[in-house]
Amino acid sequence: MRRYNGGMGKQWVTVLYVLAMAAVVVGVDVLFFRDRFWERLAVNVGIVLVFLAFYLRFLKHS
């Protein structure tokens, strides 16, 4: 008999986390860096790295 270990809940948290990251990236792009390609690219990479660091620190469970 298989036991439920809450795996589906973790998947939803990850999906919501990725959606929040995408919303932040798009919001920053539209509000601040509309016509600046390289600055926008650098900031987007930085945002993704910050979200990745928080994910690895607080949300990833081994």
Distance of alpha carbon 39 from alpha carbon 25, whole angstroms = 13
Q: Residue 30 belongs to what domain range?
A: 7-59
Residue 43 is assigned to a structural domain of this protein: yes
Q: In terms of residues, how long is the chain? A: 62
Q: What percent of the chain has pLDDT over 70?
A: 85
Residue 51 in domain:
yes
First-residue to last-residue Cα distance in the chain: 23
Instruction: Tell me, yes or no, whether 40 lies in a domain.
Output: yes
Domain assignment present for residue 1? The answer is: no
List, for residues 24-47, the tens digit of each pLDDT value.
Answer: 999 999 999 889 999 999 999 999
Q: Is residue 42 part of a domain?
A: yes
Q: Does the residue 2 lie in any domain?
A: no
Number of domains in the chain: 1
Q: How confident is the model at residue 9 (pLDDT cuts 50, 70, 90)?
A: confident
